[in-house]
Structure 1
């Protein structure tokens, strides 16, 4: 149990934890103009980026799934932890010592609140293992293993490779000496509980620290190097913990993420030493899965780093061994090809060497050439499909055609189907029209996947449909609300530009209830004229809305770029206010005209004349508002 974090410390965390840096460790962000950054949403699958971050106001918002908030909200959502826990996580990252108000109601700490301590435990363990590699005599076999694979001391240090002592309790003692409790050691996955108490999970193994995209050590990969190791598995990986989810982790992503974003290329290899070999050879976009096959969540991580979109400009390159297992892996990857907008390729070394062995035997240039010789994944899979058939026989050629035609129609880029059809005809020695007819027939069948023996198990990469949008949420692209949206956006992002003039508005100026609720919340905290600088204004408005679902709109208004070719000024703001008031005026005019049409000018002459006078006044007012709007160069 712990007291509540002091409000001034929470405010300091918001100030120190830059949202672009925090979000940027998970998602590649590109300049979207107007002081906004954009990337692929980490909370749902999407083909075009709709996730916006505005560093000046410290907020994010996704126009696809409507998730939004500040940097604390982001950590809450991405790590699935509470507000209290997210503040502690960010404070640990930016070096803020939090203070607690013990007089308030105590906060129940959940298991996930251990993240800062578990990350710290892994950091300490990584440093300890690294020291042991070149300091402990028993680590000689580990050093020899690295040396035989072309990795010197500098390479080991670059990747943090270490050694876990064989004794069984040395790390436990070391971590206890650093103040970690038994509960924390067990939760970290670094230690296990036996009949005689806690013992080291990893013993007598070469250790690779596994880091998340932000650089925090969250797990380890451990390789067997002693013949008498009681655990026969060659590789032993960290089990699932509150901070380590193997289906979402890619080894080397901390080193590769910037190069992946910069070069629009990701190279997926099969092991830790392959990642090391690639990076040392100059292929700095290499990553690997950790003890599991490439799956849905791995694809999602890469898409976010690639800023994967429908322009087909990026590349995802899989490296596989040339043996049968490698071919099966390629087929699995092809079955998940639709998860990427980027083009997918495969790089296979003819002699069956993996990148580590290739670098050792043929040098760095050979590794770079391997990636350079990549071929489209489709073409590689097609060759494997056709290799099952005797193409010298007419009957088996027809079988091969039927099998391969289903492969052709599964190609994502429809503009290339005809080219692949011609290519298939060449492989089979058949007329193009005959092959094209079979492709058309395959396209009309309900099953579009290739008939090759693709494993459809849990490792298949598929894309999930995004969650349905919240139907009440107004969109800035919806013409019914666009002026209302823009006025609130200006008030949220540049409150000084609207100032006291904003106070003239009321809820009748906003036709959507959520936008009206935002205006009311602004008024509650003193209006734009009293707005505090930076993100404090946005936070105040959102807090004034409490649990109102309309609070989600606040984040959107804070990050949606103001798309003009100059810095917005007071004339720009006045023009929008005038346009909004003109729309309200038009609704009143329409209402009055309707009433006049229903009013008998003889029987109710006074009412008729009064409404007619109001109509004339409203028309004049509307004319004035239109002039103000035009003068502001809308």
Structure 2
């Protein structure tokens, strides 16, 4: 059986992978200065960017949650892959052929990981379905598209396909390509029958669903014959690669425009995504057979980089029918993460974007998206329209129904303005009365643990500090700050860390710093570094514990607390300061020990301590002369 990937191939993938490009597929990165990039962390929920990427070191680190590593570990974490699977995925994108070690040491190829096999099968399936769309049997599929204003070129752009009516068309095709029935069933391309595997999709028009990276992971399928059994729309089942709660159809096409334009448009169906993109609204995406949820929200927030509604917003476009109105209510229930940045665009006559484009042209779709209503206003108006506002009793009933909606607004200023608007919309003409009603719901919500049954918002507590996992670590301590600076120079600029290899454990005050010194010394010290760009990566690989890897990554991506450009002289001063303070600590300890021995008959011990004290003083003078000579 084949073994692990050869070390030199792993190193090649790590070296050639542009980490900013890989991470940029999942979140928007902006220049943070000092050669670093910054974005919203994909591993924990945050509104202010604390996720840093350092392309020169090929490392990332989140100062909010402590996640960090290289491109391989990022892909592992975000895709839920094993180490080998992450390496294989990146190697495939780079065009690198990996070699594997047999237990006897012989290099060989081995079957790729299960996930990669599923991705390969889906890519082959998408190609098969696309070819079938041009076949004689796909006449109804082509008619469906033509009637909705979509051409062959449009179908090719979105990768549409057709699943033939037979039971084993795709299954037989993929078997011939070497895929097993078990692989096809596990990936959701086939179902298990009494006589073996059979095609999941039959006589249906198909849309390939892609990850943000462009890999096909599933399909959405529309029934073409109303007389056949089954739902109108059928999606791929949940699988190791298809998680509908974390997928947005069209995101692979829309991601860059979402980031650049600061806008995401959420539509309800696959054809609506197509219509929006063809009309020029290239930020449109749709969920895949599920309602818009918290995971979708996090994906979009990362792409929008937590923008405020001055230059970024999310727009929901729902059908005007009852189902569409319910979808808007569900979105409101899930969507407090964007607060006042969220809008709703509903066509008054109930047309969805696909029908709107077909009947009134591209500009009508653009106009729909350009004139949305804030989600809070939409919800408040939706609530009060069910009451008779001509009678005082109806207005009070509407107020009691709408007040909890207004009370759920977290921003105090926005909440007050909506309270004022609610008074105007109801025609009560007593702002203080309406606002008092809203405030009662806020107090009631707080007493029950939160607003509208939700947990009360809690301010962020102190972020976990990887530095303190093994021993107390106080970043306010000047000694810790100085030593940390020296370590950052040794990790980031080994060529400038002249004299670092002469440090001993006694020069550092905390266990974490001593562990880093031991780690660096174990690789030959900074004087042995031949390739500074890969030095931090080598240190991470050599770190014996996860805590040390985290700490090392942090040292590699943190900016030096130094004004101006670091040069040999300033680096020597920083390292020299650590040495000086180390000498001062030892001097103080020796003087205390001498004072304790004063008046005793331990003459020899006193003499030894005096000799050590004079040696330390001589070392200090030598350092001072070195600094003076370097000025």
TM-score if structure 2 supplies the norm length? Answer: 0.89
- Cα distance in 2 for residues equivalent to 1:476 and 1:120: 50
Aligned-residue offset at 1:281:
1.0
After TM superposition, list the pairs within 5 Å mapping 1:155-554 onto structure 2. 155-231=154-230, 233-308=231-306, 313-340=311-338, 343-428=341-426, 429-445=428-444, 446=446, 447=448, 470=466, 472-473=468-469, 478-479=476-477, 481-499=480-498, 501-547=499-545, 549-554=547-552
Per the TM alignment, residue 479 of structure 1 is displaced from its structure 2 partner at its CA by 4.9
Distance verdict in 2 for CA 1:356–1:36, change over 3 Å: same
- Shift in CA distance, 362/30, structure 1 to aligned 2, threshold 3 Å: same
Pair 1:44-2:40 in alignment? no
Deviation at 1:193, TM superposition (A): 2.4
Cα contact 1:273–1:356 (8 A) shared by 2: yes
**Could you say which residue in structure 1 is the equivalent of 2:559?**
561
Moved more, 98-107 or 257-266: 98-107
1:493-544: per-residue Cα shift (whole Å, max 9, x none)?
1111113x11122223333322321121011001111123155322322233
* 1:628 shift after superposition: 7.7
**Partners of 2:154 and 2:382 in 1: CA distance:** 37
Q: Which one is further off, 292-301 or 171-180?
A: 171-180
User: 1:456-476: CA deviations, max 9, x gaps?
Assistant: 9xxxxx999999555715889
> Does the 8 Å CA contact 1:4/1:105 hold for their aligned counterparts?
no
Q: Is the 8 A contact 1:386 1:400 kept in 2?
A: yes
CA contact (8 A) 2:171 2:199 kept: yes
- Greater shift in the superposed pair: 592-601 or 566-575: 592-601
C-alpha distance in structure 1 between counterparts of 2:626 and 2:308, whole Å: 42
1:206/1:224 contact within 8 Å kept: yes
Q: Which moved more, 1:85-94 or 1:198-207?
A: 85-94
Any gaps of 5 or more consecutive residues in structure 1? 457-461
Q: CA RMSD in A?
A: 3.4
What's the offset of the Cα at 1:355?
A: 0.9
Q: Return the alpha-carbon distance in structure 1 between the equivalents of residues 459 and 167 of structure 2.
A: 43
Q: In the alignment, which residue of structure 2 is the partner of 1:76?
A: 76
Match of 1:459 in 2: none
Rate the CA distance shift 1:358–1:478 in 2: closer, same or farther, 3 A: farther
Q: CA deviation at 1:167?
A: 1.4
Q: Is the 8 A contact 2:467 2:551 kept in 1?
A: no
**CA offsets, 1:90-120, max 9 Å, x none?**
222222221111135999x999931222111
**Paired position in structure 2 for 1:66:** 66
| Contact 2:28–2:39 under 8 Å retained in 1 | yes
Indicate the SS of the match to 2:386: coil
- Distance (Å, rounded) in 2 between the aligned partners of 1:283 and 1:626: 66
Contact 1:112-1:242 at 8 Å conserved across structures = no
Offset at residue 127 of structure 1 (A): 1.3
Q: 1:183 to 1:379 in 2, by over 3 A?
A: same
Report how many aligned residue pairs link the two structures. Answer: 621
Summarize deviations over 1:340-372 as a string: whole Å, max 9, x none: 377111111111111111111111111111111
Aligned-partner SS, 1:529: helix
Quote the offset at 1:257 in angstroms.
0.7
Measure, in 1, the Cα distance between the counterparts of 2:579 and 2:548.
22
Residue 229 of structure 1: CA displacement?
A: 2.5
1:27-86 CA deviation, whole Å, 9 max, x = no partner? Answer: 222221222222122222122222222222221222222122222212222222222222
Inter-CA distance 470–557: structure 2 relative to 1 (3 Å threshold): closer
Distance in 2 between residues matched to 1:374 and 1:622, nearest whole Å: 70
> Which residue number corresponds to residue 14 of structure 1?
14
User: Secondary structure at the residue paired with 1:203?
Assistant: coil
Secondary structure in 2 matching 1:339: coil
- The question of whether the paired residues in 2 share the 8 Å contact of 1:149 and 1:360 is answered with yes
Residue 178 of structure 1: how far off its partner (Å):
2.0
- SS of equivalent residue, structure 1 residue 345: strand
CA distance in 2, matches of 1:38, 1:251: 26
Gaps spanning 5+ residues in structure 2: where? none
Relative contact order higher in (CA < 8 Å, ≥ 6 apart): 1
With structure 1 as the length reference, what TM-score do the two structures score? 0.89
